[in-house]
Structure 1
């Protein structure tokens, strides 16, 4: 069975959001991509109080200087397509009021005919937390737990009621409801996060770091699921942050998913491991415009499928 392929939508500064998101979404669906994805960055601090991913001294990429709001971007894509799933990879949960985010996701799912996939995380940027978070960085896990609770309540039957640290919902009718249960994908980057995923989520969304690394993490996650009595399968969507180059990369040690369309497709084929159901391919960062994104995405798709992905 072929692995599903998804594409990251254009959200960065070089793109015209209103024009390019619908155009890329339509083209990707016509090419065969089965899902369309967005990510979240809310600001670009100068100077940053911490490095990228919290790594001291690691600079933020210039492409993060302007990133379109994810749910607005997905809404543009939803209105321009009819089949592709619409995913977030990821929404930084503590940057959102739980009740409002639950309602937004439900409305988008209802409007799109049941196509939303909610990838949620806790983020890492202290600058983003200072600007937009509903609770301090130290409480990020608790906020994600409450968001999951609120989503389950809001997406479930009326009357909805909930009382938590951030949210109180008196018994109420809350609609519209999702067209179907919205799948929730979570990270597994710590023991607590892994337990939360096994106990509460539908799927896992790791970032591609090589087949061996994936296999190790996947084995640990399956063992944890067995220990905690999970019977239903864990869906797996691997995020691939690709760096396309017009000419093949010729260095001695080529970084994973860096190079020509053929080299990226080759890496996808090498990364195909039992358990992976989907690759999310984000190509947008180094490309100059939507036309190039459409062309490169189509080329990579064709070569990946020819390579057996």
Structure 2
């Protein structure tokens, strides 16, 4: 199972250069993937711009949006151009797009994008993206990756299963538990088989972490406000799921690997780039 790391974009970071340093250290320590999350009504950095900076600071590590709120990108041609440009900057095979319809209504309200049609908007975006990636479109440049970046989808709906089986390479489970993967993976593999796909869908889980003497405070400061919209009980639940000790990290790796995950991504909650090295030490990189 691959071990990736996620930028602390939802945490109280103040300097973008720190996020670039995260990228440099993540590659140097041998993590498989660098991921970035997406929110509009929050201080989370824009994913494609952030990964463009990471692409320029690295040369090997995979770059993943986990997950990008695709329906907010209402100009589908412009979005496709941004993707192909980033794919060119990163080089063949490095960029992987994790996409989802989005859950929070406030992200759509401040965008003036209709929340109720977000699923249909995502499907139309995927149609245009496929057209651009195939070269049968006026939008350029062509992607560096033949056929375009790999597509993965978040969520557990029937529409998510359809998108993965028809267009994707796999599934991303955000803020995941082992039970989440255990429950959804059989449905995913069945949908994949029924669609006549060969091989197996890639399964990626992401979890929250912070390490060091201030780990619990960092998790509370980052996750508590981020999930406050859903009430204190949910926020406290999110905090309780985060991994704050090396032995928890080790146990999580074993448990997620046992249920068939192909990659486990640890999302940072403390903006200090030293967190990359602490995690690398905990996982043996």
**TM range, smaller chain:** 0.7 to 0.9
Greater share of residues in helix: 2
Contact kept? 2:189, 2:200, Cα under 8 Å: no
Correspondence for 2:230 = none
Aligned with 1:92 (options 69, 80, 88): 69
Corresponding residue for 2:272? Answer: 290
How far did 1:225 drift? 2.0
Give the deviation of 1:215 after TM superposition: 2.0
Match of 1:258 among 236, 243, 257: 243
Offset of residue 104 of structure 1: 0.6
- Greater relative contact order (CA < 8 Å, ≥ 6 in sequence): 2
Give 2:225's aligned residue: none
* Counterpart secondary structure, 1:259: coil
Partner of 2:222: none
Question: What's 1:116 paired with?
Answer: 95
For the 8 Å contact 2:181–2:259, the answer to whether it is kept is no
2:132 to 149, 154, 170: 154
The answer to whether the Cα contact below 8 Å between 1:257 and 1:263 also exists between their aligned partners in 2 is no
Name the stretch that deviates more: 256-265 or 70-79.
256-265
Label 1:209 to 1:119 Cα distance change in 2 as closer, same or farther (>3 A).
closer
Gaps of 5+ in 1: 45-65, 161-171
- CA distances 1:42-98 after superposition (whole Å, capped 9, x unpaired): 114xxxxxxxxxxxxxxxxxxxxx221111211111110000011100110111122
Q: Which runs of 5+ in 2 are unaligned?
A: 217-238
Mapped pair 1:126 → 2:105: yes
Worse-matched range after superposition: 219-228 or 136-145: 219-228
C-alpha separation in 2, matches of 1:117 and 1:41: 18
Residue of structure 2 in register with 1:237 after alignment: 204
Quote the residue 1:69 is aligned against. 46
- Residue of structure 2 in register with 1:7 after alignment: 5
Q: TM-score, normalised by structure 2?
A: 0.83
RMSD (Å), alpha carbons: 2.4
Structure exhibiting the larger radius of gyration computed from Cα positions: 1
Aligned match of 1:228:
195
- Distance 1:216-1:126 versus aligned 2 partners, 3 A rule: closer
1:20 aligns with 2:18: yes
Report SS of the residue matched to 2:122: helix
